[in-house]
A and B are shown apart, each in its own frame.
Chain A
Amino acid sequence: MILLCAFIWANTTSASEVDKLSNTESPLFVSPPVFQTSLDSGLSIYYVQNSELPLYEISAYIQGAGRLYQKDLPNGFEDILEIVWLESGTSRLSPEQFKTELANLGAVISVNVWDYTIELKLEALEYQHEKAFELFFDFLRNPVFNDNALQSFKILGSTSREKRNDKSVNVAIREFKQILNNTTQSMYSEDDLNLFTIEMLQNFHQTHVSANRTFLVGNGSKSFMQLTKFIETQLESWKTFIPVVQHDETVVKNVSGEKSWIAMKSPQTTVVIGFVSTPLNHPEKIKIDFVESLLEYSRCDKMMRSTMAISTGCVASHNYYGQMGTFEMRATTQAENTHRLIEAMQTLYADFISHPQITEAELKATKQRFLSQQIYNYNSDFQIAYSAFYNHLFGKPSNYIEQSYEEIKNMTITDVQETIQKYFAPKKINVLVVGDKTGVSSSLLKEFKTRELDKD
């Protein structure tokens, strides 16, 4: 008996050790100071100082210049802008000279087009960082777009088009976006590629990039005072003003109940379930994110791995095109398991919205995971500065983190169930299957509107 007790004790000690060690609560994260200011020109700065690392990471976000503001331009404009701007020179330096100067400094510049903004990013070493900044500001203000780069894109863009249908998952992501939201642009066609001109790019720059629209966000080893002084000197003469135009956020399409099958030759099939959801600034967004996390991790991903043996698991997430949100839950499997995957996804989702059966243990584990992982939004100086800028851009309060933390800590099973009913249970969800329909039963296929994947 004593031995039995000892045996039981020995083997439960470790499990309770996991509980004991897991119960160290993650404290609410308190953000280090983010310094903010605006220059006379309207240019704004969000900055975190850190002298531990000898580098600078600064992004210039240009408001009112993202893809939402490019709808009158040909398809693919955002892609061409990214690539051609990157390969351009400035009014002072040819592309060749510009790249040489950057390379000599070990600095890197990148260009990304987002929904609302264009981001130009500079990564520079402490060593001669002021020279790197000079180059960066010149690049921001006075790019001279390069025809050779434009021609390269046209040729390379053609190859990218060919590769876009290599994987069923990429096709599914792209096509499902189109099903839910016809305001997004589809991929550029071969004809679109011939529409782009250097003048188009230069004109876009002149009408969208100005001091008042620019936010410098980042971190470095200089003090805030020194940095501001430096930027003021560098950009003293940049006082261009272009008013920011409000983007029309009307939801154009609200589709539900569509079941589509895009047939393509592929060894893998991707299944997506989703619907048009809530806007980005919805007051209950944090609760929606929480439920999404529960659905993804402890339901869908778990099922995909343990029942379906799918190593890539499941993705359940909201995507935003401007304010408009769409929700999708997605998984990919071998073609021979298509039937099983469709059934499993539909059943899982139907059960989730009709009788989720959330336990206290599941709620607790989700809270713990969700709250613990919030620190990764603030685990780098750049992210901290970016979060402050992001909150400003989307009108969130400065104590957004603290508010969110409390809301999640106080969530109950009832709250979760209500959130599911309000925001995850549209009358009819949409389903998209992308993959080979060979061997699939006709009774299953009948449920779907089928078309062949456009090769071009």
Chain B
Amino acid sequence: MRLYLIILFALMNVFSCSHEDNSVMLFNRVQRIRLDNGLTFLVLPKDRSLAFSSTTMIRAGGIEEGDDENGLAHLYEHLVLQGTTSMSDHDPQIEENLRKQVLDVGTRWLEAKKSHAPQSEVLDLEKQLHDLEEEHSKTFVDREFVKIMNDNGGKDVGANILPDYAIYSTTLPKEKFELWAFLESERLKHGPQFRNYFKELKMIEEERFSRLEGMPDAILLEEFLQSAFEKSPYRNHHLGQLSDLHNLTPQKIREFFEKYYRPDRMVIVLVGGVDSKHIRPTLEKYFGDISSKPSEYTKMPQELHHSQLPISKVIKTHFAERFMIGYAHESITTSIAHMAAFDLLAEYLCSTQHAVLYDDLFLEKKWVSSMSCHPSNPGMRLPSYFTIRGTITKEITNQKVIEHIQKTLEKLMHEGFDDQLIEQAKTKIKADMIFSLRNDDEVADRLAHLTSLFGDWKVFFDYENEIQSLDSKHLQNILKTYFIPQNRVTVTMENDEADTHE
């Protein structure tokens, strides 16, 4: 007995906690639940949490949109936040009748505007639409899904449409789990109900305006995307183009739902105050009857990047001058090793306390007031760009900064990376991961991303190993392959007036 206890004690100490093992132990609690219809859940309970965070990630982002459908995924997201008839007290038949009338008149109004019909006709249709919308609005609660969540203690209830995904997330008190299950499953089962369709269109117009117009970094990104891609769907900003949005129809939106909002394209992650032992029956009850019909294969254009690289573009504005440069590479999900290498490079150049470009351009030379690197812009599922962006100070020009960055990269390419700084960058990546464990929503997001990109969240462990195995030689090879001027897109923002630059 005593020998057994000694062995047990020894075993416990062998597996006891260094900092790596604690986080590994936490991830070892992740439970995977797969329903018969193919829908996958990941559940990670945490003892102290009073709430749970959920992330539903669906491969139904901007890149799934067809030609001339830029913004469809975004509009879809707005519409599903309105809720479904099953959440409502009102008579669904009356609601449906009015909804059909609204869609009919609204479509004719949009057509009249597009075809430059007589003003009187447009105004008449606009009035009819307004009156019908008023009537229709009495049959449902605006943004009912969000309201019910918020009324029940929901936090950060919302959605995000990215080029690669649609992400729906929320945090709720743990006793509201079954309510969440009901609401989320209803949304996934029924899709959009087209409530407030034209108001949501207007909202997107306003959102696009507030997030893009007058926002220098957003303008810079949009210009970069248009310059960097020819046929790739990454060319279009996922917020949507108004001309495309006005051409959309409820039928197209419905088809999008039928094609892509399928269990085999989704993962749902729950982190925090969840009872992983008893959770399955609840999930079966609410999500089990979602159709298992497989999704359609998304055929992507074959183009890697712009065929005319390198590309350079200048935009004239009154904003503080800034730049964005991008180096083309294949999809970062080609392999975990690939992803790890680009992540480490981003840390080394921009993010660590001793990051090479940060120290040089910000602290020493004072040429930039801010800068950042992104390993895969704008997304990860398709060929993309490693981007470096920054806002310059009055001391310098964009051109000089960009030349300096290229020289720095070439020096690293040929002379190698500092081993100590590589270790620091690795430590930072690991530290960031551990610090993020404090926030259930971040953990949920991370697990959802890994599963969606690679099919299995456990690649997290491979990722850790790959990061550790990287050295100067690996990073030099990456630079030699991709970070060359012939492979580059450069977009700069410069002032209209002549300025006192060098």
Contacts and interface: CB of A to CB of B under 8 A. Distances in A.
B22 interface: yes
B416 to A, nearest CB: 19
Given A53-B437, A55-B435, A26 B214 contact: no
Interface in A324-371: 332-334, 365, 368-369, 371
A422 B57 CA distance: 47
Given A24-B175, A162-B320, A369-B151, A18 B87 contact: yes
B438 A18 contact: no
Nearest to B196: A306
Interface string B247-289: 0000000000000000000000000000000000000000000
A155 B17 CA distance: 46
B487 interface: no
Q: Which one of A26, A332, A380 has the highest number of Cβ atoms from chain B below 10 Å of its Cβ?
A: A26
A105 B151 CA distance: 43
Contacts of A87: 363
B393 A158 contact: yes
A369 B203 contact: no
B26 A103 contact: no
Interface magnitude class on chain A: 35 or more
B213 A267 contact: yes
B131 to A, nearest CB: 15
Interface string B162-183: 0000000001010110110011
Contacts of B205: 309
Contacts of A160: 369
Contacts of B89: 12, 15
A372 B153 contact: yes
A80 interface: no
B135 interface: no
B86 A15 contact: yes
Contacts of B210: 268, 311-312, 332, 334
B303 interface: no
B151 A365 contact: yes
Interface residues of B, number: 78
Contact of A103 (B19, B20, B352): B352
B150 interface: yes
A104 B434 CA distance: 15
Nearest to A19: B89
Contact of A53 (B22, B179, B352, B431): B22
Nearest to B421: A103
Contacts of A237: none
Given A126-B19, A372-B173, A156 B366 contact: yes
Contact of B176 (A17, A21, A151, A268): A21
A372 B420 CA distance: 48
B391 interface: yes
Interface string A135-165: 0000000000000110110011011101100
B19 A54 contact: yes
B18 interface: yes
A167 interface: yes
Given A126-B22, A379-B51, A24 B176 contact: yes
A311 B175 contact: no
A43 B47 CA distance: 31
Given A266-B214, A334-B206, A305 B393 contact: no
Contacts of B394: 158-159
Contact of B48 (A24, A159, A163, A381): A381
Interface stretch (B224-232, B326-334, B422-430, B449-457): B422-430
A133 B204 CA distance: 49
B68 interface: no
B49 A311 contact: no
A193 to B, nearest CB: 13
A53 B182 contact: no
A106 interface: yes
B438 A26 contact: no
B363 A152 contact: yes
A103 B173 contact: no
Interface string A20-41: 0110111101001000000000
Interface string A69-105: 0000000000000000001000000000001101111
A268 B143 CA distance: 25
B274 to A, nearest CB: 14
B353 interface: yes
A15 B95 CA distance: 15
A99 B353 CA distance: 7
Contacts of B423: 104
Interface string A47-63: 00010111101000000
A162 B369 CA distance: 11
Contact of B153 (A334, A369, A378): A369
B428 A368 contact: no
Given A126-B22, A162-B320, A381-B48, A55 B393 contact: no
Contacts of A238: none
A11 to B, nearest CB: 5
Given A24-B176, A26-B175, A309-B199, A155 B393 contact: yes
Contacts of B206: 309-311, 333-334
Given A54-B22, A162-B320, A334-B209, A375 B87 contact: no
Contacts of B196: 306
A24 B424 CA distance: 48
Nearest to B212: A267
A52 B89 CA distance: 44
B87 A15 contact: yes
Given A100-B354, A103-B428, A302 B142 contact: yes
B92 A55 contact: no
A106 B431 contact: yes
Contacts of A312: 210
A102 to B, nearest CB: 6
Contacts of A381: 48
A9 interface: no
Nearest to B89: A15
Interface string B23-50: 1001000000000000000000011111
Nearest to A12: B89
Given A55-B435, A103-B428, A105-B427, A378 B186 contact: no
Contacts of B369: 156, 159-160
A269 to B, nearest CB: 11
11 contacts: A11-B91, A14-B186, A55-B437, A55-B438, A106-B428, A162-B320, A267-B209, A268-B209, A297-B150, A305-B203, A311-B207
Interface of A: 11-12, 14-15, 17-18, 21-22, 24-27, 29, 32, 50, 52-55, 57, 87, 99-100, 102-108, 123, 125-127, 148-149, 151-152, 155-156, 158-160, 162-163, 166-167, 266-268, 297, 302, 305-306, 309-312, 332-334, 365, 368-369, 371-373, 375-376, 378-382
Given A104-B424, A369-B153, 10 more contacts: A14-B86, A21-B182, A22-B151, A26-B176, A155-B393, A156-B362, A159-B320, A162-B320, A268-B213, A268-B214
**Which 7 pairs from chain A and chain B are nearest by CB?**
A372-B153, A106-B431, A54-B22, A127-B19, A14-B86, A21-B179, A311-B207
